[in-house]
């Protein structure tokens, strides 16, 4: 099991709006379903702009942060964010260290049997390089034999390795996959000449392009839902109801427009998959 590494030292636990919820707001979630009464504790990896990131003042920003705060208001809970890298999140949720993974977790059948997963957006994967790269990448096969960086223990890594195995089965040279803890570390390795290309979600790749540090060659690969993941079914159901209410009042769409991410079009949200068995 990976060792948990908290980011930004003592700022790891960030409650928002302590005491801000109206006294008349009472949560319908049964007692004992959240880790701490009156609070919704979420793990978050703030290294994927515009989805979740830290601004120049060290404050959490991004779609996942603002959306979770709005959901918490509907759920009559105080949102608390635990900053950590992604690898320890799955064992951390299963062991009850927090209530929810809030980091844009891709939906898979396997994960849907471990947690209660509520899709809230669509996401896919991009292939990018430095802006001055001499590579010519017109299809995934063009990564054959190249050194490519991917965040470890992510859907990006899973789909990259699956595509790599399929390429090798067709007689192509394997991709030399190098894994990193965060998107920022991957870009740093790319800029240091340790990588030839990298994979990450479309929105993060576009953010790197806007900063002048990347060029996207392929996007929209391996698209699927991204989700909040919960250990408690009542909390997951309350979160889905909160998303549905935010969609109806227009807050959901405004946030997705603000951060340029791909929304779900259905008017209602729900748990997808069977949940823990």
**What pTM value is reported for the model?**
0.83
For residue 27, give the 3-state DSSP assignment.
Answer: coil
Strand order in the sheet with 60-61: 47-48, 52-54, 60-61
DSSP state of 28: -
Give the largest Cα separation in the chain, rounded. Answer: 65
How far is Cα 4 from Cα 265, in angstroms, rounded to an integer? Answer: 36
Q: Architecture of 124-223 per CATH? A: 3-Layer(aba) Sandwich (3.40)
Which regions in the chain score pLDDT beneath 70? 1-24
Please report the pLDDT score of residue 195 as a whole number: 98
Mean pLDDT of the chain: 91
Task: State residue 277's pLDDT score.
Answer: 78
- Contact predicate 205/126, CB 8 Å: yes
Report d(CA 212, CA 94) in Å as an integer: 39
Burial class (CB in 10 A: 0-12, 13-18, 19+), 150: buried
Give SS3 for 65. helix
| DSSP codes, 168-235 | HHTTPPPPEEEEESSHHHHHHHHHTTS-SEEEEEHHHHHHHHHTTS-EEEEEEEEEEEEEEEES-HHH
Task: Indicate where the chain has its CATH 3.40.190.10 domain(s).
Answer: 9-122+225-263, 124-223
Whole-number Å distance between alpha carbons of 232 and 99: 7
Contact 236, 214 (CB under 8 A): no
Q: Residues 76-96: pLDDT tens digits?
A: 999 999 999 999 999 999 999
Q: What is the pLDDT of residues 172-210, one digit of tens each?
A: 999 999 999 999 999 999 999 999 999 999 999 999 999
- Specify the CATH class of 9-122+225-263 in words: alpha beta
Q: Dihedrals φ, ψ of 137, to 5°?
A: -105, 105
Choose among 182, 160, 169: nearest CA to 53: 182
């Amino acid at each position: 099991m990976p060792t948990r590494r908290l980011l930004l030292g003592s700022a790891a636990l960030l409650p928002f709006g302590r005491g801000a919820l109206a006294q008349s707001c009472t949560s319908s979630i049964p007692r004992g379903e959240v880790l701490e009464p009156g609070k919704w504790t979420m793990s978050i990896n703030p290294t994927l702009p515009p989805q979740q990131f830290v601004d120049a003042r060290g404050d959490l920003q991004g779609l996942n942060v603002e959306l979770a705060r709005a959901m918490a208001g509907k759920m009559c809970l105080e949102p608390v964010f635990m900053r950590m890298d992604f690898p320890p999140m799955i064992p951390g949720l299963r062991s009850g260290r927090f209530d929810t993974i809030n980091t844009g977790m891709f939906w898979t059948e396997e994960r849907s049997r471990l947690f209660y997963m509520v899709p809230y957006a669509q996401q896919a994967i991009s292939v990018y390089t430095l802006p001055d790269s001499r590579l010519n990448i017109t299809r995934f096969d063009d990564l054959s034999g190249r050194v490519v960086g991917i965040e470890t223990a992510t859907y990006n890594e899973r789909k990259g390795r699956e595509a790599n195995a399929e390429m090798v089965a067709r007689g192509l040279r394997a991709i030399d996959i190098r894994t990193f803890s965060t998107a920022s570390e991957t870009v740093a390795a790319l800029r240091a000449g340790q990588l030839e290309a990298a994979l990450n979600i479309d929105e993060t790749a576009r953010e790197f392009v806007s900063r002048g540090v990347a060029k996207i060659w392929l996007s929209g690969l391996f698209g699927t839902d991204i989700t909040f993941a919960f250990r408690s079914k009542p909390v997951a159901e309350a979160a889905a109801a909160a998303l549905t209410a935010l969609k109806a009042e227009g807050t959901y769409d405004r946030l997705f427009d603000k951060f340029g991410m791909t929304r779900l079009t259905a008017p209602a949200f729900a748990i997808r998959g069977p949940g823990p068995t």
